[in-house]
Structure 1
Amino acid sequence: MHRDMRENGSKLQSLHLLCGIILLHLRSCLGKADGLEGISWDYAAVLSQGRDDGVSFSELPGFTRSTYERDHALITPESRVWAGQPGWKSALTAHVISPTAATGANFVMLLAKLDNGGSAGQPPKGVERFVFVLDGTLNVTVPSAKADKVLHADDYAFIPADSQHVLSSDNGAGLLLFERKCVVSGGMPKFQSGSVADKPILPVEGEVFLLRKLLPQTVDYDFNIHVMDFQPGQYLNVKEVHYNQHGLLLVQGQGIYRLADRWYPVQSGDAIWMAPYVLQWYGALGNTPSRYVLFKDTTLDPGLY
């Protein structure tokens, strides 16, 4: 009897998944992702208290969508652990990806909340840093680059390894950060800053999503940050399998993310780690456009990993 129930449950899950894929196919748009340009993106849900509560199942204590597998991980907001870090002042951080995990990630991905007057500590020696502002205002000072910037939501900055700098906020800020030990094969990278809206939309053959790359595509930079936008019903055409690692934060929208042979419902605030060669695919659902910010280690010889 229990076996029959399991088999019936598996068939029902497969039927739901098939229906979702058919819906995506019917609603997908051909050609350019019309209507995504000029959207006012809202990342409020990423760090909201409501997201920390996750899906409300009071009768199911311990329920979470988070999972940790050999070649991927999904970390949902209710699983974040916020804590102070050495060198950080009036701030809390939640690390969601790091090389200390058994997965073998080659970068760090964390969220940070700076209170009024809060500031970030320095990364370890030899580590480069990328910061993306989710909300609030961030002051960025890098004396070696003669840079003194004020960043707002959708703005970003890249700080080369061993560059003394100050990240602070007068009135509070929510941040997404990526850190990685610099292993560039070309010259040394330089300080970069800008805004997502100012980056050009790049052509992607066979795809309908909108793609922006926030860092120069040269050997001076050993990773890049992609911003990818989807209308509801649109999906990745390519079912990707490649040697690059990814760290992803869904900052708006919801959908289905396939990782290996698992199909995960995801929503804004969810973080994902993807190992080399794990099968990956995304389909956007719901009533609002999807946007995610994606780390990708690039320009490195695959044989040197």
Structure 2
Amino acid sequence: MTRSYFSDWGGLPSQRNIIAGRAVFTEAYAFMPRRVQSDITASLLPGWDDTRAWILARPLTGFAETFAELILEMKPGGGSESPEPDAGVQGVIFVLEGELTLNVDGATHVMEPGGFAYLPPGTDWSVRAGDSRAVAVWIRKRYEAVPGLDAPDVVVTNDRDVTPAEMPDTEGRWSTTRFVDPTDLRHDMHVTIVNLHPGAEVPFTETHVMEHGLLVLQGMGVYRLNRDWVEVEAGDFMWLRAFCPQGCHASGSEPFRYLLYKDVNRHPRLEL
């Protein structure tokens, strides 16, 4: 399977561009096409040098409840020696473009496109871009500790080094790249890659408690979001509220692949 990772955000549309676009915000989902991540929607982050960020999701009433997701664009040498401001928060870094040097708990890892790092809460880590621009996704979630369970270990790997798990009865047309063991109850979130070959589909309308963030890495698809069918392409982002009906069909000529966040493995909270 060929792999590519969209990383071309930024810039500004032409003054001759029409205002109407594909962005949608509803009570059940939000759809943010790649073109809305322009220069004027980028933020700077305290503690990060030569870096700008597009914030795709953050805990907010009526929007994401469990996680934050950011696109980080680092100039050569950019990054941070103290990236995570909250000791109780875990994170995932996924590299889309360039080279990152990750230092975590005294070990050094050089990460290339497709690189994945899981960073447990309280981990001492830093990250720096190499000699060229680097682009990465940063997903953050407050860790829900459980008595008797230790926090998970650091995981550093790459998409190309993980064999996707094929979904039953699909002949490999639909698979999931799982970077951590899905049966490991220490983890209260999973960040995976869903892979669909052209013409493949999620052939039913899923409805479940897990909140989702989906960043399309490659290809094109048609996604069912609540009552709507939405055309999506590489660089687009979707937030799906818990219980939002969902399904999709890979409509392009190359694999349709997206980076998927979901909260897992914990009792549902009964207080608001």
Regarding TM over 0.5, the answer is: yes
Q: Give the Å deviation of 1:251.
A: 0.7
**Which residue of structure 2 lines up, in the alignment, with residue 199 of structure 1?**
162
**Which residue of structure 1 lines up, in the alignment, with residue 67 of structure 2?**
107
CA spacing shift, 1:288–1:241, aligned 2, 3 Å: same
Q: Which runs of 4+ in 1 moved over 3 A?
A: 56-59, 302-305
**Which residue of structure 2 lines up, in the alignment, with residue 46 of structure 1?**
7
Q: Give the Å deviation of 1:59.
A: 6.2
Cα distance in 2 for partners of 1:287, 1:246 equals 25
The 5 Å alignment of 1:12-27 reads: none
Structure 1 residue 265 corresponds to structure 2 residue 265: no
Q: Give the Å deviation of 1:78.
A: 2.1
CA spacing shift, 1:247–1:104, aligned 2, 3 Å: closer
Cα distance in 2 for partners of 1:106, 1:57 equals 37
Structure 1 residue 68 corresponds to structure 2 residue 25: yes
Cα distance in 2 for partners of 1:59, 1:89 equals 33
Unaligned regions of 5+ residues in structure 2, if any?
Answer: none
Q: Match of 2:179, as an amino acid? A: L
The one-character-per-residue Cα deviations of 1:42-95 (angstroms, maximum 9, x if unpaired) are 22x432558x64xx89463x2121111111111112222112111111000000
SS of the counterpart of 2:266? coil
* Residue in structure 2 matching 1:177, options 132, 138, 149: 138
Cα distance in 2 for partners of 1:231, 1:161 equals 35
**Which residue of structure 2 lines up, in the alignment, with residue 219 of structure 1?**
185
Q: Percent identity?
A: 23
Matched-pair contact (CA < 8 Å) for 1:97–1:105: no
Matched-pair contact (CA < 8 Å) for 2:121–2:151: no
Unaligned regions of 5+ residues in structure 1, if any?
Answer: 1-35
The 5 Å alignment of 1:24-43 reads: 36=1, 39=2, 41-43=3-5
Q: Match of 2:240, as an amino acid? A: M
Structure 1 residue 248 corresponds to structure 2 residue 208: no
**TM-score, normalised with respect to structure 2:** 0.89
**TM-score, normalised with respect to structure 1:** 0.80
Q: Give the Å deviation of 1:198.
A: 1.6
Q: Report the RMSD for the aligned CA atoms in angstroms.
A: 2.0
Q: Match of 1:202, as an amino acid? A: A
Matched-pair contact (CA < 8 Å) for 1:184–1:219: no
**Which residue of structure 2 lines up, in the alignment, with residue 188 of structure 1?**
151
Matched-pair contact (CA < 8 Å) for 1:254–1:285: yes
SS of the counterpart of 2:206? coil
**Which residue of structure 1 lines up, in the alignment, with residue 242 of structure 2?**
276
Matched-pair contact (CA < 8 Å) for 1:160–1:189: yes
Q: How many residue pairs end up in the alignment?
A: 260
Structure 1 residue 95 corresponds to structure 2 residue 55: yes
Matched-pair contact (CA < 8 Å) for 2:7–2:97: no
Deviates more, 1:104-113 or 1:207-216: 207-216
Cα distance in 2 for partners of 1:177, 1:155 equals 12
Matched-pair contact (CA < 8 Å) for 1:244–1:297: yes
Which one has a larger percent helix, Structure 1 or Structure 2?
1
Which one has a larger percent strand, Structure 1 or Structure 2?
2
Cα distance in 1 for partners of 2:91, 2:108 equals 16
**Which residue of structure 2 lines up, in the alignment, with residue 125 of structure 1?**
87
Q: Give the Å deviation of 1:196.
A: 1.1
Matched-pair contact (CA < 8 Å) for 2:9–2:34: no
Cα distance in 2 for partners of 1:175, 1:169 equals 10
Q: Give the Å deviation of 1:191.
A: 0.8
Matched-pair contact (CA < 8 Å) for 1:187–1:219: no
Q: Specify the structure having the higher radius of gyration (Cα).
A: 1
CA spacing shift, 1:268–1:58, aligned 2, 3 Å: same
**Which residue of structure 2 lines up, in the alignment, with residue 78 of structure 1?**
35
* Residue in structure 2 matching 1:302, options 255, 268, 272: 268
SS of the counterpart of 2:202? coil
Deviates more, 1:164-173 or 1:110-119: 164-173
Cα distance in 1 for partners of 2:238, 2:204 equals 18
